[in-house]
Amino acid sequence: MDAVEKRVHTFVRVKPTANFAQDMIKFGPDNKTIDIYIRKDAKKGVVNNRQTDWSFRLDGVLHNTSQELAYETVAKKLVSEALIGYNGTIMCYGQTGAGKTYTMTGATAEYKHRGIIPRAIQQVFKATAHSVDPFITVRISYLEIYNETLFDLLSTMTSSGTSDMQMAVVDCPQGVYVKGLSIHSVSREEDALNLLFEGETNRMIAEHTLNKNSSRSHCIFTIYIESRFRVFSDVKCINSKINLIDLAGSERLSKTGSEGQVLKEATYINKSLSFLEQIIIALADPKRDHIPFRQSKLTHVLKDSLGGNCNTVLVANICGEAVHVEETLSSLRFATRMKWITTEPILNETYDREGTVKALEKEIILLKQELAMHDSLVNRSFVTYDPLTDIQIAGIKSQVHKYLKGVIDEIDIVNIRQVREVFKQFKLIVSQQEREVEARLRSKYALIDKNDFAAVAAVQKAGVVDVDGHLVREEDRQASGTRATPFSSRRGGKKKSRKRNEQPKKDRIGSSLSGRDLDGFLPSKSQVIISTKDLDVKEGVRSQDTANIEAELSKLAPVDDSQRPSSPPSKPVAFEQFKEECGSEISRIFKENKSILLARKKRSSTVAQRINFIRREMEGIKKALEAQKQERWQQGEYVDEKGQIIIDEQEFLLIMKLKDLKEEYRSGYAELQDLKAEIQYCQHLVDRCRNKLISEFEIWYSESFLIPKDVQEALKPGGNIRPGMIPINRVMCLEEDEQDRFERMQETTLPACPASVSFYKAKMKTDQKHAYTRTMSSLEQMRKKPGLITAAGKNKPLSFLHVM
């Protein structure tokens, strides 16, 4: 499709501030013009020709606007065009502390304050939910450019080795891409937001005079959209991507007072932004032949977004305070230059093999019609180009046999299909004669394959053949005294030998055929192994946990005999006593975690079996559809007035059923992936509980049986040393966890705004993950600081929190 030239759309967003310079910054009545006025400096004398007023006209000025209005103005149209196949880029540019990150990402604490990226994700998945044809697939990546080095902000979300791969910007015919950058498939809005929040926690930020949370890197969040059309049309695929770019802010070192590492970061930021401005100036100049995109990593990555196959929007973030007027002018000049850049977005549309086959079939039909017209003009209207019928094939076969017997001298041929059929019949006759000759030879001789080395060695040992493979004469065998009993000259003996040789071959053929036939009806070997392994885990997990705990107890260090009481109980006996008394709470949590783990594994096995069943059913429907297409093609296709193929009701029902099965398969696969993540997490908790149970038992065992009596007196409730276990009343007075806060928020906030469920769920998961990470790190540092907490609610994984 031909490209249509479009220019870059530019908007300016003014950061709300209490010290807004109303006398210096004026906005036009149409909200597209911004004027800057600066008073002349009296200290420079009467003759002062310095410019004091500037006027900039952009596509829109956003002042005191909400996040929702900003998204509607800047991004909604671009995302809508991306859904139909056009690439898009939104870029936030401005000085440090001007609100770029707030515009792009927003505040994660409040749903209404979310920025462009969460709203774009929501718009994409809303379109996906209402789309029947095409089927839309969404993928996510998050790139950071820090000090001219590429980093993958989502490398912690994958277990593969992509995080260790050296990342590089690569040019290809389809555009620019980053080698080594992980791309994650997402099926729900919540999953995409979870990736966004995870990437945000991995970004580099620092504090300086103008901004307490200053971004120290350029970040590019990319949404890849793939749409496939499959019903009632030629199969085509539409690919597009949305680059959402949060640039690091330009800094004046005299204002920020940066030092050390922050100064080094500011140097790299200003350098890359200077290169970006040089690219903008070069693109705006029509006389420039060469554009130096490779000057920096940032400009190289943005090669397609600046003047390429992309709809581009720039948001210039400025501060309205008088002290920052110079930075404001610089940002507005940059936005004005960007406005003169033209891009050439095209529809990224491709057709796959099935659509190509349909187009070729149509071309074949047209060629047949043209041949029929040509034959009618030369009085060859009786020639046909359709596949041969059974009657025609039988006639050709009869002519070939008559030709070989000498009854006829020629074979009537009028088209290429008949020529091929004649050669086919000749080949069949030759093959039949070869089989008959082989059968006659087998009836008289025992045939041995030369490649069968074991059989050849056996007949050589028997003296039937020599080393060169030639038969040994009877008198030579008798002279050498070699017996020839296995190869008797009687016909019956030869037939018996032939049967013995052929029987294993038949068995092998039968076994291979049966295995091949069963492949279509049985699940694959890997799936069977997984299912068997799951069953083994379910039945053996209880005994395995008991064995692991006892093994850990047996490995505990021995205690000095001078402090050991006269007759302390054995540790296995004491462990059972501990689980019933002081360790009952920990033991209960351990059992509940283990039961949750078993339930997840059981559910995972059920979902896996269901997915396998759906996959086999889909394969059967595909075979049935292929048979329907072949039958329709042989009988002739019916088309309507528009030339579209008309299908019968049965084929239509099969197509719709296949579509439903695919949707069920995708949802089942997504559920299976979630279950695997939950199983891994629950298994980790079970291991933690087991280690905690053992460590607490060791404390209890030492305090109860292995320490001197005077110390035991101090450990009593009235003593000076507190026991190793946390009292239950301390556990019950702890603060509510993230899950409890989310449930309370659901009761109050969500009824007014149901669309915010995915946003808050993703935020809760991210907060829980990082809270859990912090808790585990603190537990590693603990020596004898006890702490145990349970998560309230049904079927919730239980975890430990440190109690201060």
Instruction: Please tell me the distance from the alpha carbon of residue 244 to that of residue 11, in angstroms, as a whole number.
Output: 15
661: CB partners within 8 A, 6+ apart: 614, 617, 618, 621
Instruction: Please tell me the distance from the alpha carbon of residue 382 to that of residue 384, in angstroms, as a whole number.
Output: 6
Instruction: Please tell me the distance from the alpha carbon of residue 588 to that of residue 593, in angstroms, as a whole number.
Output: 9
- Given a contact cutoff of 8 angstroms between Cβ atoms, the answer to whether 65 and 315 are in contact is no
Instruction: Please tell me the distance from the alpha carbon of residue 149 to that of residue 143, in angstroms, as a whole number.
Output: 10
Cis check for the bond before 16: say yes or no (omega within 30 of 0). no
Phi-psi region of 463 (alpha: psi -120 to 50; beta: other; left: phi over 0): left
CA dihedral over 278, 279, 280, 283, signed as positive or negative: positive
Q: Residue with structure tokens 């095409």?
A: 134
Q: Residues comprising the binding site for ATP? A: 94-101
What tokens does 719 get?
Answer: 């003593």
Instruction: Please tell me the distance from the alpha carbon of residue 417 to that of residue 389, in angstroms, as a whole number.
Output: 11
Instruction: Please tell me the distance from the alpha carbon of residue 193 to that of residue 754, in angstroms, as a whole number.
Output: 16
Cα dihedral 716, 717, 723, 725, rounded to 10, equals 130
- Given a contact cutoff of 8 angstroms between Cβ atoms, the answer to whether 237 and 224 are in contact is no
What tokens does 585 get?
Answer: 């709470």
The three-class DSSP label of residue 7 is strand
Q: How many CB atoms lie within 10 A of CB 611?
A: 19
What tokens does 504 get?
Answer: 């294993």
Q: Residues comprising the binding site? A: 94-101
Reported in sequence order, the residue ranges of 275-420 that DSSP labels E, i.e. its strands, are 311-319, 342-343, 349-351
Closest CA to 742 of 190, 106, 186: 190
Instruction: Please tell me the distance from the alpha carbon of residue 783 to that of residue 786, in angstroms, as a whole number.
Output: 8
Closest CA to 92 of 244, 208, 236, 250: 244
Q: Which residues pair with 563 in a beta bridge?
A: none
Q: What residue type is 469 in one-letter code?
A: G
Instruction: Please tell me the distance from the alpha carbon of residue 431 to that of residue 437, in angstroms, as a whole number.
Output: 10
